[in-house]
């Protein structure tokens, strides 16, 4: 187990390094950000000053290493717009985003999971078709548009739920549901497919022959085995969830890291964007690491594999 854990940890760290490097390269090799920030007509002196402030006058390699060492020291620089530390700006908004993400994921799993199981058990029935159809639609609708339409219908016309700011539990409902729709659909479809596959396995037949009830087989045997691919998908969904969160936060005016990011773009706040990217990367790799470990806990074959 220890060997498994340490290998996973090493993998995670390597991935972080690669991801941060990619983020760094993306930001730097595609041109001089200072031009975007100041405009092409800015006087040279100003350009040089900003470049020096941002450390952009050093060589590429030097910048890379100072980037890494800054990260190591928890230094993410200062925002250009607001002249305050990026870390503090992100950390005030991060809890809001995390709450939204957590709620959305909970909705997605707790509705998507059972939906998929029911669809698998009643294959080709009307419920299955409906669930599959809904899942398909959920994967095709752009999330920001859904947010807009949802606000229009539920907030403006029906006045059921508030939108536009974070204000009490009811304001969580619309954005969380919007955010949850796509992962819910994916989880439902995947659960249906994996449970169906698991039911074909011989040990399910054997379990039936041993006199176990349907309920026991579904929850005790099938679900455990089907959850493996689903957990993998969830770890992937965290990625698309953050992208969706940025769109949803923007549409609903949610005070989270997402709106911060969009504002940063519009104001060409290059350092803040970099900082957000770094935080995002660290977050994902950490979550993926947790999921990997979870995987190892559930499936003993993974633990025992030599690599």
Partner 1 sequence: MTISFETNNSDLLLAKSKNKKWYKTAIFWISAPLILITLTCVFASLLPLSDPNNLDLSSTVLPPFFMHGGSMTHPLGTSNLGQDLLSELIFGGRTTIFIGLVGMLGGALPGILLGLVAGFSRGIVDTVIARLIDAQLSLPFILVALAVIASRGHSVGVILTVLALTTWPFFARVIRSEALSLRERPFVMSLRSAGVTRTRILLKHILPNLFGTVVVLSTLGIGAAILIESAIDFLGLGVTAPGLSWGSILASGQSQIGTAWWIAAWPGIMISVFVLLVNLLGDELISRFDPRYRNR
Partner 2 sequence: MSLLEIKGLTVDAATSTGQQRIIDDIHLSIGKGEIIGIVGESGSGKTTLARALVGLLDKNLRVSAGECSFDDEVIISDKVDLANTIRGKKIGMVFQDAGRSLNPLMKVKAQIKEVLRVNRPEITKEDIKAVMHEILQRMEIDDPDRVLNSFPHQLSGGQRQRVAIAIAIVTSPSLVIADECTTALDVTTQAEVVHLLRELVRDGKTSLLFITHDLLLASELCDRVMVMYASEAVEIGPVSDVLEMPNHPYTKALIASVPSWDVTGPLKGIPGSAPKIGLENVGCNFADRCSYSEPGCFAENVSWTSTSQISGFRCRIPLRKLSSDDIQN
In the range 204-243, which residues lie near partner 2 by CB under 8 A? Answer: 205-213, 216, 220-221, 224-225
Q: How many residues bind partner 2, per CB under 8 A? A: 22
Single out the segment in contact with partner 1 by CB under 8 A; choices: 94-102, 163-171, 223-231, 258-266: 258-266
Q: Three-state SS for 32?
A: coil
Instruction: Give the integer Cα–Cα distance in Å for 17 and 19.
Output: 5
Q: Distance between CA atoms of 231 and 294, rounded to whole angstroms?
A: 9
Binding positions for partner 1, 119-158, rule CB under 8 A: 121-124, 136-137, 139-146, 148-149, 151-152, 156
Q: Considering only 84-92, 115-123, 159-167, 171-179, which stretch makes contact with partner 1 by CB under 8 A?
A: 115-123
Report d(CA 1, CA 297) in Å as an integer: 9
Q: What count of other Cβ atoms lies within 10 Å of the Cβ of residue 84?
A: 11
Among 196, 231, 299, 303, binds partner 1 (CB under 8 A): 196
The 10 Å Cβ neighbour count of residue 193 is: 16
Number of Cβ within 10 Å of residue 41's Cβ equals 5
Q: Is 247 in the site for partner 1 (CB under 8 A)?
A: yes
Nearest CA to 103 among 254, 300, 219, 298? 254
CB-based contacts of 165, cutoff 8 Å, min separation 6:
171, 253, 254, 255
d(CA 182, CA 287): 19
Query: Which is nearer to partner 2, 57 or 205 (by Cβ)?
Result: 205
The site for partner 1 (CB under 8 A) is made up of: 11, 14-16, 18-19, 22-23, 26-28, 30-33, 36, 121-124, 136-137, 139-146, 148-149, 151-152, 156, 193, 196, 199-200, 204, 208, 214, 236, 239-240, 242-243, 246-247, 250-251, 261-262, 264-266, 268, 270, 273-274, 276-277, 280-281, 284-285, 288
The site for partner 2 (CB under 8 A) is made up of: 201-203, 205-213, 216, 220-221, 224-225, 298-301, 304
């Amino acid at each position: 187990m220890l060997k498994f854990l340490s290998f996973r940890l090493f993998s995670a760290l390597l991935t972080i390094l690669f991801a941060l490097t990619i983020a760094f390269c993306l930001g730097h090799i595609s041109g001089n950000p200072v031009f975007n920030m100041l405009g092409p007509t800015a006087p040279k002196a100003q350009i040089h000053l900003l470049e020096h402030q941002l450390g952009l006058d050093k060589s590429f390699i030097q910048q890379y290493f100072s980037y890494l060492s800054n990260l190591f020291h928890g230094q993410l620089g200062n925002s250009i717009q607001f002249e305050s530390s990026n870390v503090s700006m992100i950390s005030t908004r991060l809890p809001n985003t995390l709450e939204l993400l957590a709620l959305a994921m909970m909705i997605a799993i707790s509705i998507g999971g059972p939906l998929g199981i029911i669809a698998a058990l009643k294959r080709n029935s009307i419920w299955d078709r409906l669930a599959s159809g809904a899942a398909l639609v959920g994967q095709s609708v752009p999330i920001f548009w859904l947010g807009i339409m949802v606000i229009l219908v539920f907030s403006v016309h029906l006045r059921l739920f508030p939108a536009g700011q974070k204000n009490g539990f009811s304001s969580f409902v619309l954005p969380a549901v919007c955010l949850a729709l796509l992962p819910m659909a994916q989880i439902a479809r995947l659960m249906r497919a994996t449970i169906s596959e698991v039911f074909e396995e011989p040990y399910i037949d054997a379990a039936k022959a041993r006199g176990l009830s349907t309920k026991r087989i579904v929850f005790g045997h099938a679900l455990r085995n089907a959850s493996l691919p689903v957990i993998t998908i969830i770890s992937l969904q965290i990625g698309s969830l953050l992208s969706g969160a940025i769109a949803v936060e923007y549409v609903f005016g949610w005070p989270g890291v997402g709106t911060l990011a969009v504002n940063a773009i519009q104001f060409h706040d290059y350092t803040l964007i970099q900082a957000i990217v770094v935080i995002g990367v660290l977050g994902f790799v950490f979550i993926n690491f947790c999921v990997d470990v979870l995987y190892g806990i559930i499936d003993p074959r993974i633990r025992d594999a030599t690599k």
